[in-house]
Structure 1
């Protein structure tokens, strides 16, 4: 029987490093560094939330910038990763992605899951989780008299 990829085994399809995320524990084993989530949905929510933070909080507006932070070049072939994600979501890696939206986050999640694990076994669950993208507060324009 084939061994499942590490991200799938850990319910962490984005292979997020363990950072004391809610409900997560450090994966077991001698090379432990990634989070292990109690359910696939919890891992998908963590993936969604991290992407949302990178775009909304950190103002990373391109696939190149997001993937450079997600998968730094000292550990990954960041350029190949960014090109893969950009191709999967249908943009240039250097293009401005615009605001955080559920369709954007869902496409990025699917691409990252596939790159990290070689498969995307979650079906509609990714779109369901992406649909619950936390809303970022919009600045209210100041009205002048």
Structure 2
């Protein structure tokens, strides 16, 4: 089981004490030093989607800009990440995205696949996470 799956945080969102995510479990460095943990995958996917919406509002509105913000080069092969997400969404990496429901879900699925090596969640899980926004 990947860390993202185990933590119900498939986007591997860093823990930040300033963030009070819905469904977030108390931070316990004995269990997980760096990343958030959530009650269920829906809450972790919801947090991922909320961050993506906020990135978009802040001007990170293309796959290239979003992934450069999400997964910086200092710890990721960002070029491969951008290429994989762009291919999954069937868009040019610099195309400005419309963050509607289908695009947001597709973006979240692609990030989860890259972060965990697989995307194990059902469509119903993404629908529920989206409804919780």
TM-score range (shorter-chain normalised) is: 0.7 to 0.9
> What root-mean-square deviation, in Å, do the aligned CA atoms of Structure 1 and Structure 2 show?
1.8
Q: Return the alpha-carbon distance in structure 2 between the equivalents of residues 88 and 127 of structure 1.
A: 19
Greater CA radius of gyration, 1 or 2?
Answer: 1
Where do residues 1-145 of structure 1 align in structure 2 (5 Å cutoff)? 4-19=1-16, 20-22=19-21, 23-24=23-24, 25-26=26-27, 28-29=29-30, 32-56=33-57, 58-97=58-97, 99-124=98-123, 125-130=125-130, 132=131
Q: CA shift at 1:94, angstroms?
A: 1.3
Task: Name stretches of at least 5 consecutive residues in structure 2 with no aligned partner.
Answer: none
Q: Return the alpha-carbon distance in structure 1 between the equivalents of residues 52 and 114 of structure 2.
A: 15
Q: More helix by proportion, 1 or 2?
A: 2
Aligned residue pairs total 128
Task: Name stretches of at least 5 consecutive residues in structure 1 with no aligned partner.
Answer: 135-145
Give the TM-score of the pair, scaled to structure 2: 0.87
SS in 1 for 2:48: helix
